[in-house]
Structure 1
Amino acid sequence: MTTALYDLPGPRSRRRHLLYGTGASVILLALIGWIISLLFDTGQFTAQKWTPFTYKGIQELLLTGLGNTLKAFGYAAVLSMALGAVLACARLSDHRAVRWAGTVLVEFFRAMPVLVMIFFVYVALKVEPLPALVTGLTLYNGSVLAEVFRTGVNSVERGQGEAAYALGMGKTQVMTHVLVPQAVRAMLPTIISQLVVALKDTSLGFLITYEEFLHAGKLIASNLDYDLPFIPVVMIISPIYIGMCMLLSWLAHWVSRRQRRNPKVEAAEVGAAEPGTLLPGAGPGLPKPPHA
C-alpha cells in the first residue's frame, strides 16, 4: 500500500524501526542513569544542598523572581506584538518613504544583539532595570515579528486581495477582513516560537540587576552558607522554564483549534479555494479581480 508521499512500511521495516527505537531508548536511559550517578558521586543530592529550598524565605525569593520574569515577559510580549504590527504595516505600505523607513528600522533592530540594546538603554539612557529589559526585548522581538506578519500576509493568495478590492473594499478592510484572518493560522506557530525566545531572553535581566527568576537562582547558588547549591538550583529552575515554554505551545494549539471552528475563518478558506466566491452571497455578476 502507498500514500501520495511515501510507501507504507512493511513487516520487516516495522520490526527494524521498532529495533531502532528500542536501541535509542536504551542508550538514552543509560545516558540519563550515568548523569544521575555522577550527580550522586559529587554530592549534589545531599540534604545540605536541598534543605535551603524548604525555607520560606528561599521559596518567596524564587516566587518573587518568577513573578518578575512573567511581568517582564507580559510587557515585552504585548509591546512586541504591537510594534511588530506597526512595522509590518509600514513595510506593506503603498508609500515608498514609509516602506523605506520601516525596512531600516526592522533590519537595524534585528541585527542588533538583544543584550547590547538592553545595556544601552540601561546605561546610556539611565533607565530602571525593568523598562530597560522590556525595551530591549520589545525592539528585537518586535522587529522579528514584523517580518513574520509581513510574510504571513504576503503568503495569502494574491487573488484574495484582488477579489476584495473588486468588491469595493478599502485596503484596511481587505487587510482586517480578508488577508489577516487567513494569514494568522500560518503565522501562529512562528509567533509562539518567537514569544518563547522572548520568555527565555528575560533571563538577561539579571545582568542589569533586575530581580527575575534567574537572578533569584543565582543568589541562592552563590550562597556559601548553603554549600553553593548550583546544580539543585538548575534542577529546579530549568523545569519551570521548560514548563512555561510548553504552556505557550499548548496555548498556540488551543488557539489554532478555536480558529478552525471559527465560521469566519472557514468562510475565508472556502473563498481561498474558489476566488470567484470570496464572500458569502457573492454572485456571478460581480466584476472580475483586477490584474497587475
Structure 2
Amino acid sequence: MSQLLTANNLRFLFDGLKLTLYISFVAILLSTIFGTILAVIRNQKHGPLRFIAGTYIEIVRNIPNLLWIYVIFLIFQMKSTPAGIVSFTVFTTAALAEIIRGGLNGVDKGQKEAARSQGFSNFQIIWYVVLPQAIRNVLPAIVSQFVTVIKDTSFLYSVIALQELFGKSYILMGKYAQTGQVFTIYGLVALMYFTINFCISQFSRWLSKSWAKGY
C-alpha cells in the first residue's frame, strides 16, 4: 500500500482530477448559459428561432455524448482538451435546455400577468420573474446533470486519450500487476468522484431548502 500511495502517484492522480474539474466547470458554465437561452427561445409560441432551437435540442439529445466526442475531435481536428469541453457543452446544453424549459412551463401564468400589470416588458418578465422561479423549481435536475458531466468525463480517455482523472488512474494501473493494487487505485478514484459529486448534491439540497424558506 505504501508503495502505491506515494507522493508522486497521488500528485499524478490529482493532476488528472484538476483537468476533470476544469473541463467540467467550463462545460457546465457554457451549457448553463446556452441552455437557458435555448430554453427561452424554444418556449416562444412562434418564430424560426424556436424551430432552430427545437431541432438542435432534439438532434443532440437523441445522439449519445460518446459519439459527439468522436465527431468533434475527428471532424473538427481539435486538440483533446478543447474537444472535450466543446463536446460536453454541445450535449449538456441540449439536456439543460429541456430541463429549464420544463421549469419555465411550470411557473404559474398568474405570475406573468401580475408582472405585466406592473408594466414589465416581455423580456423583463422572462428574465426577472419567470426564469428565477423556473431555475428554483428544477434545481435538483440541473445539479443532477452537472454530476453527470463530471462522471462522464471518464469517457474522454478511452475516446480521445485525454488524461483526466480516470485516464491518469488507467495509466497508473499499468505500473502495478497485483489485484489488490489495482482495486486500491480504483477505490481511490471512486472516492474522489464520490466526494466531489456528493458535496455538489449536498450543496444543492441546502440551497433548495434555503430558497424554500425564503420563498
TM-score calculated relative to the size of structure 2: 0.92
Aligned residues: 213
Residues 83-134 of structure 1: per-residue CA shift (max 9 Å, x gap): 1112112202344211111100000110111111111111111101111111
Larger Rg: 1
User: Which residue of structure 1 aligns with residue 74 of structure 2?
Assistant: 123
- The structure-2 alpha-carbon separation of the partners of 1:87 and 1:52, relative to structure 1 and needing over 3 Å to count, comes to farther
1:129–1:210 contact (8 Å) kept in structure 2: yes
In the alignment, is residue 187 of structure 1 matched against residue 138 of structure 2?
Answer: yes
1:79 paired to 2:30: yes
Shift of 1:174: 0.8
Q: Confirm or deny: 8 A CA contact 1:52 1:58 kept in the other structure.
A: no
Aligned ranges 1:66-145 → 2 under 5 Å:
66-145=17-96
Distance (Å, rounded) in 1 between the aligned partners of 2:195 and 2:5: 21
Give 1:177's aligned residue: 128
Distance in 2 (CA, whole Å) between partners of 1:75 and 1:192 is 15
Counterpart position of 2:13 = 62
- Say yes or no: does 1:157 pair with 2:108: yes
Distance 1:251 1:74 in 2: 16
* Letter aligned with residue 115 of structure 2: A
Aligned CA RMSD, in angstroms, stands at: 1.6
Aligned to 2:204: 252
Q: Tell me the alpha carbon deviations over residues 233-277 of structure 1, each in whole angstroms, 9 at most, x when there is no partner.
A: 111111111111111111112322332354xxx3xxxxxxxxxxx
How far off its partner does 1:51 sit? 3.4
Q: Could you say what secondary structure the match of 1:136 adopts?
A: helix
Instruction: Return the offset for 1:231.
Output: 1.2
- Alignment partners' CA distance in 1, 2:3 and 2:137: 46
The answer for the alignment partner of 2:168 in structure 1 is 216
User: Does 1:241 find its partner at 2:193?
Assistant: yes
Relative contact order, higher structure (CA 8 A, sep 6+): 2
- Aligned amino acid, residue 248 of structure 1: I
Alpha-carbon distance, 1:232 to partner: 1.4
Q: Choose the corresponding residue for 2:119, options 168, 171, 184.
A: 168
* Identity value in percent: 27
- In the alignment, which residue of structure 2 is the partner of 1:12? none
> How far apart, in 2, do the equivalents of 1:123 and 1:253 lie?
39
1:44 matched to which residue of 2?
none
Calculate the TM-score normalised by the size of structure 1.
0.69
Residue ranges of structure 1 left out of the alignment (5+ in a row):
1-49, 267-292
CA distance in 1, matches of 2:4, 2:206: 34
Deviation at 1:54, TM superposition (A): 3.0
Deviations 1:142-165 (A, max 9, x none): 101001111101101112112222
Q: Distance in 2 between matches of 1:183 and 1:103?
A: 19
- Relative distance call for 1:181 and 1:86 in structure 2 (3 A) is closer
